[in-house]
Amino acid sequence: MRAFIAIELSQEIKSTLSILQQSLQKTKADVKWVEPQNIHLTLKFLGDINEAQLNQISGILDEAAKLNPAYSIRISELGAFPEIENPRVIWAGVDHGDSQTKQINRILEKRLSSIGIPKEKNEFSAHITIGRVRSGKNRIKLSGELKRLNDEFIGRDLQMQVSKIILFESKLSPKGPVYEILKTAKLGPLSS
C-alpha cells in the first residue's frame, strides 16, 4: 500500500487554499491542482509499505506523537519550488509552528530509517502543496498571479491547532487519489 504521514488541515484552511487555487486557475496554466479535500501538510512520504512495516510505523507514529506536545501552526505565504519565477510545485508555507513541525519530521525520519525506510535527500520544508505544474504553458502569468496573491495573503491570520499526526493510505482511483486514515496518533498535552 502507498502511504504517507501528514497533518490534517482545518476546513477553514482547506477552503481558503481552494479559493486561492481558483484565482490561480484563471491564468490557464497547465497545473494539476490538489483536490481541496486532499490538501494536507506531509510530514513524511513513505511510498509502498507492507503489513509488517505498517505495524512498525504505527509504533513509531505513537512514539513521535508522545515526544511532541500539541501546538498551533499559521499559514503565512504562497510560493513555489524551485522558485516563484519558475514554479514546479505551488505551495502555502508555515511560519508559526514551523520548528515544531520540523522536529516531528526529524524524529520520524530517524526512527523510520531504522526500519529500512530511506531518509529524504532534501531538507524538510513545512509546506502544503496545492498544485504541480505540468508544462510551461502560461508560466509567466502564473508566476505573476502567485506574487500578487502572496502579497494579499501575507498577514492573514490563518491558524489551527495541531493535536494529532495521521498515517494515510493513498488509493489511486480514476477520479484521483483517495486518502484513507490507517492510524491516528495524538500529540502530547499542550505546552504552556
Phi and psi of 108, rounded to 5°?
-60, -45
C-alpha cell at 191: 505546552
Which residues, 6 or more positions from 123, have their beta carbon under 8 angstroms from its beta carbon?
none
Q: What residue type is 58 in one-letter code?
A: S
Q: For residue 40, indicate whether it is catalytic.
A: yes
Question: CA 41 to CA 17: how far, in whole Å?
Answer: 12
Q: For residue 96, indicate whether it is catalytic.
A: no
Exposure string (b/e) for 74-97, b if CB count within 10 Å is 16 or more?
A: bbbbbbbbeebeebeebbbbbeeb
Q: What residue type is 129 in one-letter code?
A: T
Closest CA to 23 of 137, 153, 132: 153
Catalytic residue among 40, 44, 139, 183: 40
Catalytic residue among 44, 111, 127, 139: 127
What pairs with residue 37 in β-bridges? none
**Looking at the annotation, which residues are catalytic?**
40, 127
